[in-house]
Amino acid sequence: MGDIARAVPRRVALALALLLATPARADEAPLTDVPGDAARGRAIVADRTRGLCLLCHAGPIPEERFQGNLAPPLDGAGLRWSAAELRLRLVDGKRLNPDSIMPSYYRVEGLHRVSPAQRGRTILAAQEIEDVVAYLLTLREEPPR
Amino acid sequence: MKRLLALLLLALPASAQDRRSGFEDMARETQAMQRDDMQNPGMLWVAEGEDRFNRDCTACHSEASMRGVAARYPAWDEATGAPIDLAGRISACVERHQRVAPPARESQPLLALTAYVAHQSRGLPISRPSDPRLAPALEQGRALYGERRGQLDLSCVQCHDDNAGRRLAGSTIPQAHPTGYPLYRLEWQGVGSLQRRLRGCMTGVRSEPFAYGAAEYVALELFLNDRAAGMLLETPAVRP
Ligand code: HEC
Ligand code: HEC
Ligand code: HEC
């Protein structure tokens, strides 16, 4: 390993390192041609067995009690992030933060011992991701203090 | 005296001071239910286990000889050359010494006997697995505890070490100390084993659980006991 490092000129090594550490794409393109539906997105976020979001996040969905506090509140997400940035965080946020506990909602590779019922399936379908993104974009108020 | 105590406390590793049983995260009413044997539904299983023990086991064992046993399980089983948990040990006795078919994992008779035997150690500290032959399984348990799994791609560490005390929806995430098993869980409306609890956490992250009795659970239990060494047994505990 040390030999290889010495054999490669410094500048080439630097360029290589930059190439290998491809920055996470911030411009995740829409997954479908059909624009997301914010009302359907809200229902997915509120549903603990579909979106699962409220297990970890709190959000402006007052009829759902017992919201989690493992993650920042969803309030204001539409102020902080663009559609592309939100989509990336849902599709595979681990491209931004490999240690994140937030599940990757649209990825099937690299998982271990997935239960047979879910094996090979993404947590949400492409259109559901678009719906959730559309809903998150409507969240333009900071969380209550 | 006070100074001595303070010094002693300082000498303890931080983890020994910070560790808390799931008991402490519970609502007051649930704590009261566990504390009062007249209210604790787990005591019904203990009573059933006592009847079975007096009927089937006292030819070879006494109640007094069961004191402290649960605090040092899982242990090494000479007969199979593998670690064995308390329920497995009891099943093996039924099979090897009573020469009848062993009770199924998670069956009422086995839960009752295990609850009775573990109850004999209530209030005793969990001892650190010390038999060197257990070391490989202990390491396997540590690895399983750190491994991400399931569609949600989460490890035990991420919930029970990194986020203990926070709320996953309505539940406070406990530190996962196996101090109370078998225990009565309100959600189960019955007594269940540590393996049942671990399966719950595994299916919760949408991963394929191991089969009851699998070596992986014994390995996880060894690791959890190592992590909880010195904490006091509570069997039969109550949990939400
Ligand atoms: C198991 C926990 C968990 C679940 C389930 C979860 N998240 Fe997250 N989420 C996190 C954490 C933790 C962060 C903080 C950043 C990080 O660690 O990646 C985060 C970050 C985010 C962010 C960026 C936060 C900000 O504004 O800075 C958004 C938006 C988001 N999540 C939306 C969602 C949505 C929508 C869902 C459900 C479809 C969801 N999350 C499900 C844990 C979770
Ligand atoms: C997504 C979060 C999460 C993950 C991952 C998780 N658990 Fe849990 N675990 C919980 C919650 C929440 C509870 C408490 C449930 C309740 O009170 O209803 C719990 C309870 C427990 C308990 C019971 C503690 C007691 O006081 O009786 C043990 C032991 C445990 N988990 C071990 C594990 C192990 C081992 C793993 C990995 C194989 C694991 N958990 C993975 C969330 C998790
Ligand atoms: C015919 C004799 C016999 C009967 C009946 C019997 N056992 Fe045992 N038991 C043993 C022997 C011998 C051992 C020591 C390990 C071995 O050889 O299996 C043992 C070990 C144990 C241990 C582990 C003790 C330790 O210190 O590690 C437990 C717990 C136990 N028995 C519980 C039971 C229960 C509960 C029953 C009734 C359902 C039962 N046994 C019935 C003979 C018996």
Residue range B26-38, pLDDT digits in tens = 999 999 999 999 9
Say if residue B100's pLDDT is above 70: yes
Least distant ligand from the CA of B76: 3
What mean pLDDT, rounded, does chain B reach? Answer: 94
**Considering the domain boundaries, does residue A11 fall inside one?**
no
The pLDDT assigned to A143 comes to: 85
Catalytic status, residue B201: yes
Full strand arrangement of the beta sheet holding B238-239? B190-192, B183-185, B238-239
Which of the residue ranges A8-12, A120-124, B71-75, B93-97 would you say has the lowest mean pLDDT? A8-12
Residues 84-113 of B with CB under 8 A from A: none
Which of the residue ranges A13-27, A52-66, A98-112, B188-202 would you say has the lowest mean pLDDT? A13-27
More confident residue, A87 or B130: A87
A120 interface with B at CB cutoff 8 Å: no
Tokens at A51, concatenated:
């979106």
The pLDDT assigned to B5 comes to: 41
Give dist(CA A31, CA A91) in Å, integer: 10
Averaged over A63-92, what is the pLDDT? 97
The pLDDT assigned to A27 comes to: 60
Which domains are delineated in chain B? 21-239 (1.10.760.10)
Query: Which among B167, B155, B220, B208 has a CA at the least distance from the CA of A99?
Result: B155
Determine if ligand 3 sits within 6 Å of the CB of residue B94: yes
What is the distance, to the nearest Å, from the Cα of residue B130 to the centroid of all Cα atoms in its chain? 17
Least distant ligand from the CA of A79: 1
Determine if ligand 3 sits within 6 Å of the CB of residue B87: no
Distance from the CA of B84 to the center of ligand 2, in angstroms?
Answer: 22
Give dist(CA B227, CA B58) in Å, integer: 33
The pLDDT assigned to A2 comes to: 39
CA quadruple B46, B108, B204, A55: dihedral positive or negative?
A: negative
Tokens at B76, concatenated:
């090494």
Give dist(CA B83, CA B228) in Å, integer: 18
Q: Residue A48: is it exposed, middle or buried by C-beta count within 10 angstroms (0-12/13-18/19+)?
A: middle
More confident residue, A88 or A20: A88
Q: Residue B168: is it exposed, middle or buried by C-beta count within 10 angstroms (0-12/13-18/19+)?
A: middle
Averaged over B144-173, what is the pLDDT? 98
* Residues annotated in a binding site of B for substrate: 197
Q: Residue B133: is it exposed, middle or buried by C-beta count within 10 angstroms (0-12/13-18/19+)?
A: middle
The pLDDT assigned to B17 comes to: 56
Cβ contact, residue pair B150, A54, below 8 Å: no
Nearest CA to ligand 3 atom 1: B97
What mean pLDDT, rounded, does chain A reach? Answer: 87
The pLDDT assigned to A145 comes to: 74
Give dist(CA B117, CA B111) in Å, integer: 10
Query: Which among A126, A123, A119 has a CA at the least distance from the CA of A51?
Result: A123
Averaged over B141-148, what is the pLDDT? 98
pLDDT digits (tens, 9 = 90+) for A94-139: 999 999 999 999 999 999 999 999 999 999 999 999 999 999 999 9
Give dist(CA B198, CA B191) in Å, integer: 14
Largest pairwise CA distance in chain B: 58
Atom of ligand 3 nearest to the CA of B113: 35
Give dist(CA B24, CA B195) in Å, integer: 22
CA quadruple B224, B229, B230, B233: dihedral positive or negative?
A: positive
Residues 6+ apart with CB under 8 A from B232: B21, B122, B123, B124, B125, B126, B179
Cβ contact, residue pair A113, B168, below 8 Å: no
Give dist(CA B193, CA B183) in Å, integer: 7
Say if residue A9's pLDDT is above 80: no
- Min Cα–Cα distance to chain B from A60, Å: 14
Q: Is the ipTM of this complex over 0.85?
A: yes
Determine if ligand 2 sits within 6 Å of the CB of residue B168: yes
Give dist(CA B90, CA B110) in Å, integer: 8
**Considering the domain boundaries, does residue A142 fall inside one?**
no
Residues 6+ apart with CB under 8 A from A109: none
**Proportion of chain A in helix, strand, coil states, percent, rounded to 5:** 40, 0, 60
Query: Which own/partner contact pairs does B174-178 have at CB distance under 8 Å and 24+ positions apart?
Result: B174/B20, B174/B21, B174/B22, B174/B25, B175/B19, B175/B20, B175/B21, B175/B22, B176/B22, B176/B224, B177/B19, B177/B20, B177/B21, B177/B22, B177/B224, B177/B227, B177/B228, B177/B231, B178/B126, B178/B221, B178/B224, B178/B225, B178/B228
The structural domain count of chain A equals: 1
CATH number at residue A64: 1.10.760.10
B79 interface with A at CB cutoff 8 Å: no
DSSP state of A31: S
The pLDDT assigned to A83 comes to: 97
DSSP state of B54: H
Strand partners, B184: B191, B238
Domain carrying residue A33: 25-137
